[in-house]
Amino acid sequence: AGGDTGPVAAFTAHEKGCSSMSFSAVPGLLATCSVDKTVKLWDVQDINQPLQIASKNMQVGKLFSVRFYNDSPLLLACGGAKGMLALWHTTEFESVTKRFGGRLPGLLPDPSSQEEQQQQQEEINNALASMSMQVSTEGEPQSEPPEQASTQQKSKKKKSKKKKRG
């Protein structure tokens, strides 16, 4: 009873030694880092077929530590050999947002609400532009733009100096 059963799963994650890994609160999202200076993101939802989703050289030398931020499960921190830390918002890769965006409710903004907000902003901008057009075409003449006014003031000063001399 109770013999050695071996690992549940094993796969090659990096060309050189894998120094750290971190599971995100997002189901199936695993980050690994290595002395090869890269961080890799994996989908391990199916542990028998892990899939590399993204890879990035963090520019801080060999990596020894990687961890997802608890309050923002797509934000990753890494510690490197150069004594530096690096943060990576993994959503910069579309493959990450497509793969993991729907796995944790509220993780990413709802695209339809983003479109609605953008449309509302465009309507506001159009309304403001329309209002400014009405103001400039109705009522009293509008003042000149500052660059035109300053040019005219300079030419008036030159003319007045010429009159004083002449």
Along the chain (166 residues), what's the average pLDDT of each consecutive run of 10 residues?
Answer: 75 89 94 95 92 94 94 92 89 91 74 60 59 47 46 51 55
Report the amino acid identity of residue 88: W
The torsion of the CA quartet 36, 38, 43, 44, rounded to 10 degrees, works out to 40
What pLDDT, on a 0 to 100 scale, did the predictor assign at position 42? Answer: 95
| pLDDT tens-digit map of 119-158 | 656 765 665 555 545 444 444 444 444 444 444 555 555 5
What pLDDT, on a 0 to 100 scale, did the predictor assign at position 135? Answer: 42
Burial of 29 from C-beta contacts in 10 A (0-12 / 13-18 / 19+): buried
**Phi and psi for 57 in degrees, rounded to 5?**
-85, 120
CA-to-CA distance for 40 and 29, rounded, in angstroms?
A: 10
Measured at the alpha carbon of residue 158, what is the angle toward residues 153 and 159, in degrees to the nearest 5?
A: 95
CA-to-CA distance for 129 and 147, rounded, in angstroms?
A: 22
Domains and CATH numbers, the chain: 18-103 (2.40.10)
Question: In this structure, what token pair is assigned to residue 81?
Answer: 């050999």
What pLDDT, on a 0 to 100 scale, did the predictor assign at position 8? Answer: 81
DSSP helix/strand/coil, 41 = strand
What pLDDT, on a 0 to 100 scale, did the predictor assign at position 109? Answer: 62
